[in-house]
Amino acid sequence: MNKSSSQSAFHAIPWTGKAILLVDLDAFFASVEQRDHPDWRGKPVIVGGDPDKRGVVSTASYEARVFGVHSAMPSSQAKRLCPQAIWTHGHFDRYREMSNQIIKILSDETPYVQQVSIDEAFLDVTPTKVNTEHPIQIAMRIQQRVEDLGVTCSIGIGSSKTIAKIASEMDKPRGLTIVYPGTENDFLSPLPVRALSGIGPSAETKLKKVGITTLGQLAQTPRHEIERMFGKAGSVMHIRANGGDDSGIVTDESIKSVSNETSFAKDLTKAHEVEAAIATMASKVGRRLRKKNLKGSTLALRIRYGDRTVRSIQTTLAAPSNDDLEFIPKLYKMLRDIWHEGMPVRLVGVAMTGFDEPPESTEQLSLFEIEDNQTNNHEDFEPLIAEPTKRKKLLDATDSIRDRFGDTSVQFGSEIRSYQNTTGSSSKNVADYK
């Protein structure tokens, strides 16, 4: 990319003050699928759960959106609207990989990159004496480089994160929307309150009851009235509706929780089914914690009942843990506090939070060591897990095997039951694997 030549051909109103970009990848998951499957390009593609298993749409390609399909729509409804759509459950490692490549592109422009999700990031590209380039030029170069990777993005440019975010949504896909400093209030005032990040269905309803439907009306309402309705959040939304938002780019966001949850095609009612589901979720959480080298001190269990009401229970562990063999029994105890046999269970979730302790140094076993440590004998299994350091090695080894051969390749007793009960698929235990 030749900066000087593109600069000479570039004419725009000079940018004064802070410049924030919001880069949003267009229909990201579906776009990656179309990139990776050339024959899917130009066709409706839906990434989401099964229509007959209470699934929802994660992302719909623009070709599918023409039929009215959109994110979070029940898959069953999407299927009715667009029966010819190509359906996939998604390949999240692949999306993560693409996302990382794009973050690298953004990091070439500035160190002030804040990734807000797998498909969105803020950048601070405020012109300085050293970096005099116009924000629009930077945005155009980012769009080109992202397209070179085979997906597209929309970008909003403004004087704050709030403005950049809303601007990015004005024109999709491949849009570039600029809100010049000083024009923020004209830009915001006609927009519906829902345009503001932080105002969801609940706040929208509450505001409508007092006659506020636009950001202009929200901005004109005395601050204290909005604070009375929404507390601290109200103060923030009032400031933002008035074009104010001095929040900066946060670059070092550490993980605060790791969770796994699943909804069932049919509600569970039997204790062994619910316990098996909990064990499966817990083992996934444990594995991800170990992968991230994290140990959590607060363990939480979440149940959604047949009537969709939710209950949760959490407990503080005596010592931080990432060992599901250790905390699964605790989850069973917690389960008894919020559920009894016969109550329909629609969803089970397990979460670990409380990562206060600095992560301990990574200690990985090589594949050779794993094979050396691997046992062929089921009788050796129990004594092996009783001793903490050996247990860590066992967990490392099973994690590695799962990485290579998939989740169902290695299962502990409590999990095996879950697969037999819910899917009927065959499974192997550690001892069978070699």
Partner DNA sequence: TCTGGGGTCCTAGGACCC
CB 193 within 8 A of CB 207: yes
Report, in Å, the least distance between residue 80 CB and DNA.
Answer: 7
Nearer to DNA, 50 or 387 (CB): 50
**Cα separation, 415 vs 433, whole angstroms:** 16
Q: Find the farthest-apart pair of alpha carbons in the chain and give their distance in angstroms, rounded.
A: 76
Nearer to DNA, 256 or 434 (CB): 256
Report, in Å, the least distance between residue 310 CB and DNA.
Answer: 5
Report, in Å, the least distance between residue 48 CB and DNA.
Answer: 8
Q: Which residues contact DNA (rule: CB under 7 A)? A: 49, 51-52, 54-56, 58, 71-72, 74, 76-77, 79, 116-120, 165, 196-204, 231-233, 255-263, 284, 288, 298, 300, 308, 310-316, 337, 346-347, 349, 351, 353-354
Report, in Å, the least distance between residue 330 CB and DNA.
Answer: 11
Nearer to DNA, 153 or 199 (CB): 199
**Cα separation, 261 vs 288, whole angstroms:** 13
* Strand 176-178 to 153-158 pairing: parallel
Nearer to DNA, 53 or 270 (CB): 53
Nearer to DNA, 139 or 281 (CB): 281
Out of 33, 63, 120, 382, pick the active-site residue. Answer: 120
Report, in Å, the least distance between residue 71 CB and DNA.
Answer: 6
Nearer to DNA, 5 or 202 (CB): 202
Q: Is 120 a known active-site residue? A: yes
Report, in Å, the least distance between residue 76 CB and DNA.
Answer: 4
Rounded (10°) CA dihedral 214, 220, 224, 226:
0
Nearer to DNA, 328 or 394 (CB): 328
Report, in Å, the least distance between residue 388 CB and DNA.
Answer: 23
**Cα separation, 405 vs 226, whole angstroms:** 54
User: Annotated catalytic sites, by residue?
Assistant: 120
